[in-house]
Amino acid sequence: MKTELLDKMWGEGRDFLGVRYPILCGAMTWISDFKLVKAVHDNGGFGILAGGNMPPDLFEQEVDRCVAGLEHPFAVNLITIAPNFKQHMEILKSKDVPLVIFAGNFPHKKDVEAMKSAGKKTMSFASTLSIAEQQVRFGVDALMLEGSEAGGHVGHVSLTILLQQVLFERPGVPVFVAGGIATGKMLAHLLLMGAAGVQMGTRFVMSEECTAHPAFKARFAKARAREAVTTPTYDRRLPVVPVRALLNKSMTDFNALQLELIRELNEGRIHREAAQMRVEEFWVGGLRKAVQDGDVEAGSVMAGQSVGLAKKVMPMKDIFAELVGEAESELGRVNDLFS
């Protein structure tokens, strides 16, 4: 595929990731398994295995499948607040995984140093310039700016603000961006702004290779952007990372769970840590129910606002052809404006 103009724009991202296209598939729990990672990888993109809170033995098996089954680099996404985080870290130290991405919360310096000492590059998320600068001081090799438009656990700030707060300030490492991205045209303009590459999640759920339940994909196809909403936080004693998902019974049940946990906190019947664990258990179980069982009412249908742009299931090769073709064409249009 012709990428003459793109090649002038995304060299930093390609060199860092070691793939043809610096287009990353976001790590989605119960979705970003070996099969999806390989499908993205085989079409020139960059796949990311979702560690989530996977049982350590299963986590190691999935990592080993990626190591054995992929010819080009990939990453493993670790959730810093997951109960199995430390065990996942220990497993990865001896594995031939070139890039580790910290998510869920900001990693400690010792976590970054541990992975770098094991010969791995590191990436973490940044929601403000000060956090980006801190993570660079800690030694991360790249940053991911994910706007609140994204699906799943998200921050509070939109990508358009993060671009101005962090990307335009040139923090000194490659900066990849995510949140609400679903088209090649947007890819082109983000590269023009200085992004090293982009990450998408919702768009890749709508691939034939994604193993999510057909009912899950069908719900995506019918959804409008405004249906992907975030959960509220009712009490600072129960810090809840906002989750963006399609509005359904599961979202209503979660709001009720928060209120119940606050009552238990008020009455001294539960400690804050245990309450937070109940919150995380809710989402892990709810997402699995939707993704694997196809229960899109009682299960959690996590989706970014770009769900309003992803209307049909396509083979992965067609998704990449569309993204790359649109991006190259858009750069050509912009180039003509200045000719």
Q: Going residue by residue through the chain, which has 339 residues, state the pLDDT in tens, using 9 for 90 and above.
A: 889 999 999 999 999 999 999 999 999 999 999 999 999 999 999 999 999 889 999 999 999 999 999 999 999 999 998 889 999 999 999 999 999 999 988 999 999 999 999 999 999 999 888 999 999 999 999 999 999 999 998 988 999 999 999 999 999 999 999 999 999 999 999 999 999 999 999 999 999 999 999 999 999 999 999 999 999 989 988 878 889 999 999 999 999 999 999 999 999 999 988 998 888 788 878 999 999 999 999 999 999 999 999 999 999 999 999 999 999 999 999 999 998
User: At 159, which CATH number?
Assistant: 3.20.20.70
Beta-carbon neighbour count of residue 140 at 10 Å? 28
Are 10 and 89 found together in one domain? yes
Are 183 and 159 found together in one domain? yes
Nearest to 39 by CA among 62, 66, 63, 64: 66
Strand stretches in the chain, DSSP E: 23-25, 48-50, 75-79, 99-103, 121-125, 142-146, 152-153, 175-178, 197-200, 228-230, 243-246
Between the alpha carbon of residue 169 and those of residues 149, 186, 191, 193, 266, the distances in Å are 22, 20, 15, 11, 44
Are 166 and 106 found together in one domain? yes
Q: How many domains does the chain have?
A: 2
Are 203 and 225 found together in one domain? no
Give the burial class of 13: count Cβ atoms within 10 A of its Cβ; 0-12 exposed, 13-18 middle, 19 or more buried: buried
The structure's pTM equals 0.94
First vs last C-alpha separation in the chain: 24
Are 96 and 156 found together in one domain? yes
Are 251 and 315 found together in one domain? no
The verdict on residue 296 lying in a domain is: no
For 46, the domain range is 6-212+311-334
Are 256 and 158 found together in one domain? no
Question: Torsion-angle region of residue 258: left (phi > 0), alpha (psi -120 to 50) or beta?
Answer: alpha
Please give the full DSSP string across 290-318, using - where no structure is assigned. HHTT--TTTS--B--GGGGG--S-B-HHH
Contact 45, 320 (CB under 8 A): yes
Are 235 and 199 found together in one domain? no
Nearest to 146 by CA among 130, 161, 127, 174: 127
Are 77 and 93 found together in one domain? yes
Are 66 and 129 found together in one domain? yes
